[in-house]
Structure 1
Amino acid sequence: MDTQHDNALAHALAAIPGPVPPSGVIHIVIPHTNRFTVVGNHLAQHAGLSLVAIGIGVHIQSLPAGSEISIKTLAARFPEGEVKIASALRELEAHGYLRRTRVRLAKGRVATRTVFCNQPGAVLRGGVVPGAPGAPVVGAAVRNPAPAPALVREHLRVPEPEPARVPEPARVTEPEPARVPEPARVTEPEPTLVTEPARVPEHIRVREPEPTAVAGARPAPIRLPAPTAPKQPRRPLPHPHALTPERRQAASALLADLRRHAVELVLSEEAVEELVPGVAAWLERDATTDAIRHALTADLPKPLRHPARLLRHRLTALLPPPLPGVHDLTAPRRAPVTPFQTCDGCERAFRSHEPGHCRDCRAPYGEAA
């Protein structure tokens, strides 16, 4: 008696008109009145998109214009990782649903502009770009002969007042001749703006605030070095004393094999020929191939745009010194030391290579002899 039975689903199934399929999914269609998005079956049942790509495409289509849909934003919203989300966005981009372009802003910054099209097939057939003047998205949907539900037709009739807005730009353009003198008033302060570039070099001087309570006078400006200081010349690539055929072949094979250990280090034949002397210089200094490979592939920057330049820098900056010889590693020999001897006469210690008498006892014994 304590188990609750929900019969709402059974009543809903009983109210479905027509025969119920013996197997498969059964749809209970309840019309939406708010917060819904019309998604085409070409996206929801796309045969070439993965399930993650279809879900992200539907999610992006449901967002309002101006929403952030970067990889990090979607990864924070969904449990999928950044790699899987990035792959899904590339799938949508390959099938025409998504387009990402890099544009340069006014101040020199570069930003990514993302455009999502809900019907890329209609755009290709009509030869128009969504959002362009004279090519609204509703036009492609109205020409579709397929029957649409009442709610969809109401949704498609919403943008129909746009033709009534066409005369509005014409009325806006009527007072434009009256606004023509306004740019003339804007150009009046232009002489003050022209003088600005003449004072640009003053930003090099660092000035203290004028009101100084201690000295009462403005300190002398501090001149900084010019930003166009000459750069140091690039160090040349090391070359061996003798580039033998064996060293050339070993260096060329090592450089061509780097892409097996790091996929970023894909070098052209010209780059390999240019870097062969540097690797041969390392081999001449008894560096092993494993040591050279580790020095060239460790801690690569992400992303790596110029692999040949990076290898040239590492071969030049990390060149090891020649190995020291066996005689260089031995300890320096000390000068011979005269040992101590005990005097046979007075029992005192003195330095001598042979036993005998000390200096004081040597004279009496010499006279006695």
Structure 2
Amino acid sequence: MGTENPSAPPRAQSAVAGNPTRSRHRTGGVIHENTRHTARFVVIGNHLTQHPDLSLLAIGLGCHIQSLPTGTPVDIKSLTARFAEGTKRISDALRELEAHGYLRRERVRTPAGRIVTRTISCNQPSHRRRAADTGCPAPQPLPAPERTPHPRGPRPRKALPAVPQPSGIAATALHQQATDLLAGLRRHDPRLLLSATDTEHLAPGVIAWLEREVTPTAVRHALTTDLPDEPLRRAAALLAHRLAAQLPPLPPYRTPAGPPSPTRHRLRNCDGCDHAFRAPETETHCRDCRTAAQPPH
């Protein structure tokens, strides 16, 4: 009698503990119908999903990043290709997550010597457990590159890519126009501020475009459209590549106007010898008859 039956159904409990007067059937708010996950799921804390300061886009993006396998690209370009939000909104959401500790971006050096950006997703930014438990290793400082003193001073600057060269006689007249166009690129993007040396190198390439009857507006559009989002380390090299790779073809060849065709008179008979000859209507005799009629000198 005193033994409980483990197979007996449990006693029904109220939907709201401590308040039996409230009904199970609520008229407002969310009602959850949960099914236990057994595969393909990730545990995400409410501190992220219900964060009071993060935007809805940042919360959703943070949940998406935490659900990805290790090694999945989460740069702005990859996320923009995956979602309908634009580059600016995704960039702002990443900065929110980074400001609240859910993301950390570090620049590390690969064994090949390249500097790359590594993104670390932290599922509990405020938890102070050991780095091996949290999955968020402490940032390692970049190893200082070994520098060997150069016997002739600093390392020489890498040469810029070659640009198309003008071929017409109007190249000198177009030089100032090309220089002004290059100097004005910084008004469209401050990263395109060029030095005098870079401008002098790029000017012949711009002249080659202008010689092909491309308007300055079209040249400017070709040089400033779809620039990468990251900082431009060598803006002049990028512009030189575009001038060479996107060089338009020469305009259709125009045959220069030549001298007018000679007038072809109709045949007529000479009044002197009755031979046929070509001459204006005013001539009545052929050349031989006119020569014979001239008096001797």
Normalising by structure 2, report the TM-score.
0.49
More helix by percentage: 1
Which of the pair has the greater relative contact order for Cα pairs under 8 Å at 6+ separation?
A: 2
**TM-score (norm. length: structure 1):** 0.42
